[in-house]
Each structure stands twice: as C-alpha cells, then as structure tokens.
Amino acid sequence: MTVTAVVLAVALLGLSPTAAGPNIKKVALIIAQGGLGDRSYNDSGYAGLTKAAQDFGVQIKAIESRDPVGQGEQLLRQAAKAGFDLVITLEFTHFEPLARVAPDFPNTKFSILNIAVEKPNVVSVIFKEHEGSFLAGALAAMVTKDTKIPGINPRKIIGVIGGTKSVGIDKFIVGYEEGAKFIDKETKVLVSYSNSFGDPAKGKELTLAQFQQGADIVYQVAGGTGEGVIAAAKETGRYAIGVDSDQDYIAPGHVLTSMLKRVDLAVYDLVKRLVQGSLKGGAVITLGLKEGGVGLSEMKFTRHIIPKAYVDRVEQLRKDIIAGKFKVTDITQK
C-alpha cells in the first residue's frame, strides 16, 4: 500500500522513477561512508560502475547519503522500490540491514563486498587479499636482501603495519608473511598495529620504529594511516608497500609496489554478470589473482631499481598460484 502511495505521489508530480526501456537493466550503487571523491574505495567502485555503463549500456545511479550507516535499511529498501535490477552497496555495515531487506524484494538482486550475506537474492563478493599480499611479501623478501638497491640494508627484515588486530587485516598480514618465508625462511617480519585507519602520524611513528629495528620495506594495511608509512619511507630513503589502490605515485620511487584490491573490477564484474544473465543469487564470488581482483601494481616508479629476475619470479609465483600449484593460507577460512 505504501509502495503505491509513493508511486502515486511521484506520478502525480509528473515524474517517473528513472524511466528506461524494458530491456535496459538498471543498477544502483550505494556509496559508503567517506563518500565519492575519496580517491580510494568509493571512487574505485564508482569507476567500475561508469565503465560498465559504457560497455553494457545499463542505466546507473550512485546513491550518496550523509548517514549511510544510520540510513542503511532505508537506502537499500528505497533503491529496491525504485525498480533497480541490481543494488550494490559499498557500505560494509549494511550486511545486517541487507539481510533484513533482501527477503522483501525477491525480484531484486543485491550485492555487498567483503562479507558474505547468505540470502537467495544476495551476491557477496570476497577478495582474496591473502593472495595479493603473498606476492608483496615475496617481492619484499627478495629486495630486502639485495644491498645493491639503494636504501636496502643486509638484514633480512621487513615490516607490516595493520590498521587493527582483526581477522580482516590479519588476512593480509599472514599472506604477506607466507610470501616472504616462501622466498627465504629466515626473513623476519615485524608486525605492528596502529589501532586506527586515519592516523598518518601514528603510521609514521610505527614505521620509523620498524626501520630502526632493521626493516627497510614496510607494507601498510591501514588505510589513511598508511599515508604516514609512505611518508616515513620517503623521508628515510627506504620503501613502503601500498594497499587497495595504486599508491605508487604518492612517493614515486619509495613505494615499492601496491597490493591492489580491484573494487572497480568487482562492481564491473557484477554488472557484466547481470547483463549476461549469469548473476546467481545466494552465491559468493571470490576475486583472487586468477580473476584479476587482487594483484600488484605495475610498479611504474620502481621497476628500474628492482632487478628483472625478482619481477619475473613474482610473475611466476602468480602463475603458480593461479595454476593451483600451491595455496596461500586464508585465515578467514579456518
């Protein structure tokens, strides 16, 4: 009844909810806290959506709210009511609202990233961050032994800064450690937690402490805190490893590589499946090295200082993991 009221109200006002032909699919993307313009997670997801719109001719809408956490159910429900075929949310806290809303709209497909919501019309996307981190660890373990590279000491020590001590973050760290030990069992990996994703000063302080303990490469898995990790590397002439998006440009030559998490690809892939009719509700899509959902950056600014043999070795490891020759531990699957 209330649905009718809304439609009626809108119709009376001479407006129609995003008119489209019967065959044109409509996709809504709910933007997470932080909003568009974050040069990171949200922007990446939106880039994937706009690319999908160009490639598949779907109608798209980005939904921004000042309070995506508090308005979770409302946003999901209204997007479904407005007649979108697929509603993707980038907001992590929507996992509970989504589980409540999805059953009311069996003909709408929903999607959420980084967490599995088990409902027949929800498609969850999980990234295999451990696989990408494995490659980062392997590269770091090779570079940390090579004193011919500027800023590298002879000690086999590398570091990592996590945003919080949580399974979600340790997934990266364990993969990184495994990659490092795979190259050289004696590699020591220093681990610190910043207890914040938005504290560059803390990130810098922790990184400098790790450098003092002999590390020369520090992987940041701490969001905005990572800016401090990169700043510390730049100041001391050592190296950081970026995360999520390609952060190599932030301090050219001092970000060894970045472990990319392709949110854009995830969104693009969802729309592609929708258009092709292969989007299966109730499924969990995992995006790893094989799917190109995670991986290392192209190392635009460091490629000339890293010996080609190391890059080739990393590439070989990537192929081996894809071929299933060995598996990287996923601590969330325990």
Partner 1 sequence: MTRTVVRPQWVGELGRSFVTFSAALVIGALVMVATGRDAWGAYRTLFAVAFLGAQNLADTLLAATPLIFTGLATAVAFRAGVFNIGVEGALYLGAFAAAWIGFTLTGLPAGLLIPLAFLAAGLAGALFMLIPGALRAYLRVDEIVTTIMLNYVAISFTSYLVNYPYAVPGLANAMSPKIALAAQLPRLLPPSQLNLALIVVLLLVPLVHWLLSRTTLGYELRALGSNPIFARWSGVPVPAVILQVMLLSGFIGGLAGAGQVLGVNYRFVDNFSPGYGFDGITIALLGRNTALGSLIAAVLLGALRSGGATLELFVDIPKDLILILEATIIFFVTAEFVLTFPRRRHAGVH
Sites of contact with partner 1 (CB under 8 A): 2, 5-6, 9-10, 13-15, 17-18, 28, 33, 61-67, 69-75, 77-79, 82, 92-93, 96, 101, 104, 114-115, 164-169, 195-196, 332
Minimum CB distance to partner 1 smaller for 74 or for 213: 74
Q: Report, in Å, the least distance between residue 17 CB and partner 1.
A: 5
Q: Report, in Å, the least distance between residue 166 CB and partner 1.
A: 6
Q: Report, in Å, the least distance between residue 264 CB and partner 1.
A: 19
Q: List b or e across 183-209, with b for residues whose CB sees 16 or more CB atoms inside 10 angstroms.
A: beeebbbbbbbbebeebbebbbebbbe
Three-state secondary-structure class, residue 279:
coil
Minimum CB distance to partner 1 smaller for 91 or for 248: 91
Tell me the one-letter amino acid at 163. Answer: G
Overall residue count recorded for the chain in this entry: 334
Minimum CB distance to partner 1 smaller for 115 or for 305: 115
Q: Within a 10 A sphere around the Cβ of 103, how many other Cβ atoms?
A: 11
Q: Report, in Å, the least distance between residue 236 CB and partner 1.
A: 28
Q: Quick one: which of 289, 244, 291 has its CA closest to 272?
A: 291
Residue 332, phi then psi, degrees to nearest 5: -75, -10
Minimum CB distance to partner 1 smaller for 112 or for 230: 112
Minimum CB distance to partner 1 smaller for 6 or for 309: 6
H/E stretch holding 235: helix 226-236
Q: Report, in Å, the least distance between residue 262 CB and partner 1.
A: 17
CB 123 within 8 A of CB 280: yes
